[in-house]
Amino acid sequence: MSAEPMQAEHKTSHDAALVARRVGVAYGARPILQSVDLALAEGRWTSIVGPNGAGKSTLLKVLAGLLAPASGQVLLLGRELRAWGRRERALALAWLGQNEATADDLRVYDVAMLGRLPHQRWMQPASAADHAAVEQALRATQAWDWRDRPLAQLSGGERQRVLLARVLAVQARVLLMDEPLANLDPPHQADWLALVRNEVARGCTVVSVLHEVGMALAADELVVMRAGQVVHHGGCADERTHRAVEQVFDRRVAVHSLAGQWVALPC
């Protein structure tokens, strides 16, 4: 893992890739997000953590433009989300959701090629660049060997790696992932971390919702949520961030430094 627990707190001078301004979401009369203000730095990896039902997935969907907030606004790369055309937004921002429904009879290669749709003109065949991007993405997630198999024949973790390849194939500037580690075994979780680091090194912005707090602390920044609000946003190496994590989980976890990484142990 490439986190550096003792690194200095990040500077706040990064441009924001995503901004939420007083974002509110309600399901019926029930408020789910309450006046959330957030600026997620460009070229950084931010993880969102918090207890079940805190509103993490809802916030990520709002940032992705998949859910319209009842109040407030979201800016993607400096421009309000609503002002983006569908295609240009799909080129700039790629999304991996939880339990994504994908046609199971599609071949792995074709699933990854779905990530190239925003690049393709209506009814035009895939270009050499599309094929190259798909191959690169499938190789990056070690799914290339299954390229001719239907998705239905893969295990949960194998399937997740194909869906991850689809997101990588977009080659978007901003990647949003909700529980991307679902079903991945420890080596492939480590590979995912390396992949994210690689994307961030290329200038991508990554935002992930993660339940595994230790994994989340490998990010650059952590957003800590509780009851529909952001209660803390800070560097993963910052002690205040660790205390905020412990607090939202009612001190049932404690953050420690171990072998150059942050770990969250149950207590």
Residues 21/46/43/234 CA torsion (nearest 10 deg): 80
Give the residue ranges of DSSP H helices in the chain.
56-64, 86-92, 108-114, 128-140, 156-170, 186-201, 213-216, 239-248
Q: Does 56 bind ligand ATP (CB under 6 A)?
A: yes
Instruction: Give the interface segment with ligand ATP, choosing from 48-56, 70-78, 100-108, 165-173 (CB under 6 A).
Output: 48-56
Closest CB to ligand ATP among residues 56, 233: 56
Go through the chain and tell me how many residues it has: 267
> CA 142 to CA 165: how far, in whole Å?
9
Apex 247 CA angle, 39 and 265, nearest 5: 105
Q: Does 260 bind ligand ATP (CB under 6 A)?
A: no
User: Do the beta carbons of residue 98 and residue 57 sit within 8 Å?
Assistant: yes
Closest CB to ligand ATP among residues 5, 65: 65
Binding-site member from 16, 44, 47, 55 for ligand ATP (CB under 6 A): 55
Q: Does 52 bind ligand ATP (CB under 6 A)?
A: yes
- Shortest separation between residue 231's beta carbon and ligand ATP, angstroms: 13
Binding mask 8-37 for ligand ATP (x = CB under 6 A): -------------------x----x-----
Instruction: Give the interface segment with ligand ATP, choosing from 53-61, 63-71, 117-125, 192-200 (CB under 6 A).
Output: 53-61
Closest CB to ligand ATP among residues 60, 165: 60
Closest CB to ligand ATP among residues 13, 99: 99
Q: Does 213 bind ligand ATP (CB under 6 A)?
A: no
> CA 243 to CA 249: how far, in whole Å?
10
In sequence order, what are the residues at sequence separation of 6 or more whose Cβ sits closer than 8 angstroms to the Cβ of residue 141? Answer: 161, 162, 164, 165, 168, 191, 195
Summarize as ranges the residues that interact with ligand ATP (CB under 6 A): 27, 32, 50, 52-58
